[in-house]
Chain A
Amino acid sequence: MTSPVIISAKPPAGAAKFASRFDRFQVGLLVVAALLTCAALAYGGFLLTVMQLAMIYAIFCIGLNFFMGYTGQASFGQNAFACVGGYGSAILTVQYGWEPLPALLASMAVSGFFALIIGYPTLRLRGHYLAMATFSLGLITYDISIQWTSVTQGYMGYAGIPPMGIGNWTVESERWKLVTLAVLVAFGFWLSLRMRDSRFGRGLRAISGSENGAAALGVRVPRFKLIAFVIAALYASAAGSLFAYTIGFISPEVYGPAMSIMTFTMLFVGGVGTIVGPIIGAVVTSLLQEVVRGSGHYQDVAYAIVLLVTLIYAPKGISALGALFRRKKEEA
């Protein structure tokens, strides 16, 4: 016996690249998203608003991807933290005259703290139970934002929220708003890459691969899940604040359960657990939303159809299509 190499069936040749890798196809998708942003800047008009919202939701989804994608846990309640971010920023800037940036950061801190104390007991739940618990978290926050009128002004919402800016420099024009948001998306994406490609990120992905396996190797599963939940909440909160600064007006509906459903769709269309999935999903779904808007009340139906088709034919979303095609080609 020379070497202990075990050779049973050969794995499919060259199938080496897979969905979770940052492949050329995913880079290509990012380039397309960047080009769309440039087009919006060049042509202006309505596309500008659409892309602004896409960028805001991209930030939300990058965070959500940590919890749902990398760690493999279900949350339908991240809109609660966007709500805290949005109202936090609105109240601090409008009522108390805070600068937008400190208001955004303070709301993030509050959201992170809430995520910590809510997540600690809730994350003991798994699968469907966790999905239900987080969904109710979103519903409760939505109800509070409607009922607690002395603070939130109820259905009236908050108007006159100042745009982003630091000191005397404010982002007033729609074009510059989009540029700022795009830069923030890039920054959030960069941070997410650093966290993903590290001991911490590998631990998260191990949990979604096999909780028992991860625990056996010493990954503190409950703690890692909680950190992923807090990261998702911080991104959601930032997205909520940015919505308030970009549109200048918020109401309970903005951060209602519909937000959870929409971001869920975005994440799955883009590719849950993939690197660029959150951004691509947010851009594609936002554009799609405008395309189907003409159908009025059928908008939700169109949504559902897109989600179904994606789940059936591209379960890992658009970002994984490159890997999917490659595998098909090799099998042929």
Chain B
Amino acid sequence: MALLKVQGLTKRFGGLAANNDISLEVPEGSLFAVIGPNGAGKTTFFNMISGFLSSTAGSIEFAGRDVTKVPQHEIAAMGLVRTFQLVQLFKGMSVAENVEVGCHLATKGGVLASLLRPSWFRKQEREVRERAHELLEFVGLDYHSDLDAELLPYGQQRLLEVARALASKPKLLLLDEPAAGLNTQETEGLAHIIQKINAQGTTVLLIEHDVALVTRIAHRIAVLDFGKKIAEGTPDEIKAHPEVIAAYLGVEEVENA
């Protein structure tokens, strides 16, 4: 069953079609990747799915419901949670607090509950702290939990963002270029974590620039180029696809090959 179903998704900025008639289906439980060269429209695609950007045409269906025009926070509440290419950590909050904010959707209570602190609320606060600790352990940041999040090295900030997104117990986790700016060793660790998240039952949709990483971990890959989907298939099919090679290496090399 498809958890996410995108049909004919199009976004035009004036005369420029950043996304042109993109359709794809992300099966439940899969680790799906969207790749493409810089400027192929990957982030635009992501922004539309997560509700940060409205689409010009096309439809998005998530968990059997049409979410094309649903506001961003409602999409998140349905279990579609994203991370950002440029890390959006909460400055001025500790590493643990960052993950605790991630529990927002999985918890309840507003001003009144915070003032009166009934027993369910205190219990929930305890659980939030425990969950944050577990998730930090999961990504290997537990020994930094009291540190100001801004002070983390870049690679760890990315992991923190992943842990934070996981705290909301997403059905579909959207990762926007999580390996951008990481070194080989860090990318390796990240790949491992993404696989573990997927193995624990979370569907993952990954946007990546790093083809080597994606072909290694993804079950299925869609390739965007100049706003269009030019290919979709298993990693092996994608690696052998002539248009994909052309998009990544340039047409001339293929013709000469």
Docked pose: A15 CA to B150 CA in angstroms = 11
A3-11, A103-111, A160-168, A289-297: which lies at the B interface?
A3-11
Q: Is the CB of B92 within 8 A of A194?
A: no
Q: Is the CB of B104 within 8 A of A8?
A: no
Is A177 among interface residues, defined by CB-CB distance under 8 A? no
Chain A, residues 184-213, CB within 8 Å of chain B (1/0): the string is 000000010011011111110110111011
- In this complex, how many residues of chain A approach chain B with their Cβ under 8 Å: the count is 45
Chain A: minimal CB distance from B206 (Å): 16
**Neighbour of B88 across the interface among A5, A8, A202, A213, CB < 8 A:** A213
B13-21, B22-30, B141-149, B232-240: which lies at the A interface?
B141-149
Q: Is the CB of B155 within 8 A of A205?
A: no
Chain B residues, Cβ within 8 Å of A9: 153
Is B171 among interface residues, defined by CB-CB distance under 8 A? no
Chain B, residues 32-56, CB within 8 Å of chain A (1/0): the string is 0000000000000000001010000
A81-89, A144-152, A217-225, A248-256: which lies at the B interface?
A217-225
Chain A: minimal CB distance from B101 (Å): 4
Is A19 among interface residues, defined by CB-CB distance under 8 A? yes
- In this complex, how many residues of chain B approach chain A with their Cβ under 8 Å: the count is 64
Chain B: minimal CB distance from A115 (Å): 14
Give the contacts of B133-181 with A (CB-CB under 8 A): 139-140, 144, 146-148, 151-156, 159, 161, 164-165, 167-168
Chain A: minimal CB distance from B116 (Å): 9
Docked pose: A201 CA to B107 CA in angstroms = 13
**Neighbour of B81 across the interface among A209, A214, A216, CB < 8 A:** A216
Q: Is the CB of B148 within 8 A of A18?
A: yes
Docked pose: A226 CA to B221 CA in angstroms = 42
Q: Is the CB of B91 within 8 A of A11?
A: no
Docked pose: A220 CA to B111 CA in angstroms = 14
Among A15, A218, A220: residue with most chain B CB under 10 A:
A218
Interface SS, A side: loop
Is A273 among interface residues, defined by CB-CB distance under 8 A? yes
Chain B residues, Cβ within 8 Å of A17: 146
Q: Is the CB of A227 within 8 A of B111?
A: yes
Q: Is the CB of B91 within 8 A of A215?
A: no
Is B77 among interface residues, defined by CB-CB distance under 8 A? yes
Of all chain B residues, which has the CB nearest A5? Answer: B140
Chain B residues, Cβ within 8 Å of A215: 52, 72-73, 76
Docked pose: A231 CA to B72 CA in angstroms = 25
**Neighbour of A8 across the interface among B94, B101, B156, B193, CB < 8 A:** B156
Chain A: minimal CB distance from B129 (Å): 11
Q: Is the CB of B110 within 8 A of A194?
A: no
Q: Mind listing 17 A-B residue pairs with CB under 8 Å?
A: A4-B140, A6-B155, A6-B186, A6-B190, A20-B92, A195-B115, A198-B121, A199-B124, A202-B97, A208-B90, A209-B91, A214-B90, A215-B52, A216-B52, A216-B72, A217-B164, A231-B111
